[in-house]
């Protein structure tokens, strides 16, 4: 059995809005929207990977707040796990630095106005439920 590789996704929240990132690469994913994040490196805690990926992909300093229950299969051997996150005080605003060409802050009633990657949809539903319930982020 192949060991699962964890991919962390950030539900970066600000004032009840969720940050969505539009993929620019690879070609088969370009134009679709996702929660920013990336692979956990060997020996790295998922929360630390989330902070590192947000710094690399968006140029922000952020902190992981709480894990969204569940995990979602991606192409083998990857699985997605999502944490709510928030920008640290004094952080720059997010910019699409790697693998993305556009970012949008989406209010709850705007979440489904962008074409999400299929594998992110169940996680986004969970995040939306958290926003509706008044998440701590």
Residue with tokens 């990857």: 78
Q: Would the pTM of this model clear 0.75, i.e. be above it?
A: yes
- Asked if pLDDT for residue 136 goes beyond 70, the answer is no
87 burial class (0-12, 13-18, 19+ CB within 10 angstroms)? buried
pLDDT attached to residue 38: 96
Q: What is the pLDDT of residues 28-64, one digit of tens each?
A: 999 999 999 999 999 999 999 999 999 999 999 999 9
Q: Distance of CA 81 to CAs 6, 8, 37, 98, Å?
A: 7, 5, 10, 20
For the chain, the average pLDDT equals 93
Farthest CA pair distance, the chain: 45
- Please answer whether residues 40 and 49 qualify as being in contact, where contact means their C-beta atoms are separated by less than 8 angstroms: yes
- State how far the Cα of 19 lies from the Cα of 37, in Å rounded to an integer: 12
- State how far the Cα of 23 lies from the Cα of 26, in Å rounded to an integer: 8
> 135 φ, ψ to 5°?
-55, 160
- Asked if pLDDT for residue 17 goes beyond 80, the answer is yes
pLDDT attached to residue 1: 56
Secondary element (H or E) of residue 82: strand 78-87
């Amino acid at each position: 059995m192949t060991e699962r590789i964890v991919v962390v996704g950030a539900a970066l929240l600000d004032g009840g809005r969720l940050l969505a990132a539009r993929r620019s690469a690879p070609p088969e994913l370009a134009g679709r929207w996702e929660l920013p994040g990336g692979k956990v490196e060997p020996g790295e805690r998922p929360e630390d990977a989330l902070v590192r990926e947000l710094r690399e992909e968006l140029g922000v300093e952020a902190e992981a707040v709480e894990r969204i229950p569940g995990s979602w299969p991606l192409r083998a051997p990857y699985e997605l796990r999502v944490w709510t996150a928030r920008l640290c005080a004094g952080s720059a605003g997010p910019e699409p630095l790697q693998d993305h060409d556009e970012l949008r802050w989406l209010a709850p009633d705007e979440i489904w106005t962008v074409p999400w990657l299929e594998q992110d949809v169940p996680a986004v539903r969970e995040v939306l439920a958290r926003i509706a319930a008044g998440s701590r982020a």
